[in-house]
Amino acid sequence: MAVGVSANGSRSAAGIGMTSQRTRERMVERLRAEGIGDERVLAAMAAVPRHLFVDEALASRAYEDSALPIGFGQTISRPYAVARMIEALAARALGKVLEVGTGCGYQAAVLASLAREVYSVERVKELHERARANLRHLRLKNLRLVHGDGSLGLEEAAPFDAIIVAAAAAELPLGLLRQLAPGGRMVLPLRDAGAGPQRLVLVARDRHGHTQTVLDPVKFVPLRSGKA
């Protein structure tokens, strides 16, 4: 998935120094040491050049295990959080996936490396356009970006085999749950009232209803509704 330097001098996915392939490999080694065991997920994390999705001033920090600002009060999630959430979904084959919160487009690119079809919804118009620009060179034909209110899901494309939410909700969004296919899985951070602690939750739907499994303590920006 290498992207070369264009005639106008845009950045290369191969990169040098702190954005090199070797730096990416060290990130993957760290993820493996921290418990990420799905080799498909690790390969996807290695293949997608995270430094292309952050401001150039932050490129040298792109492969640290930390969230980084992308503007509009939003962040690109830390690599471990991305890998952990996708691994939780990838226990089953990833067919049609909905991502709520495109942000800069990085997680969508990792998902598109693993799923048959990915729909990613972003409420902030400027971030939606930035993600489109970030992803253009990767030519991911199975990825569709939508500007809209992701908290409502995407009814016209439902049902989904998997849903991933990149922001913390105060309660399980029932609209998203209804768009999850029987046998499908959703992973999202849920937060207690106010600024209380957050926990990553895996929701599995079956013909009788759904079950919830708490995975890890996490820290995400809050899930917001409406377009911006």
Q: Are 50 and 79 in contact (CB under 8 A)?
A: yes
| Residue 120 annotated among the catalytic residues of the structure | no
74 C-beta neighbours (distance < 10 Å), count: 21
CB burial readout 30-42, b (16+ within 10 A) else e: ebeeeebebeebb
Task: Exactly one of 6, 66, 77, 151 is catalytic; name it.
Answer: 77
Side-by-side strand order, sheet with 117-122: 143-147, 117-122, 96-100, 160-165, 180-191, 198-206, 209-218
> Which residue in 156, 163, 192, 157 sits closest to 177, CA to CA?
163
Token representation of residue 10: 């845009």
> Which residue in 84, 124, 125, 117 sits closest to 218, CA to CA?
84
Which residues are identified as catalytic?
77
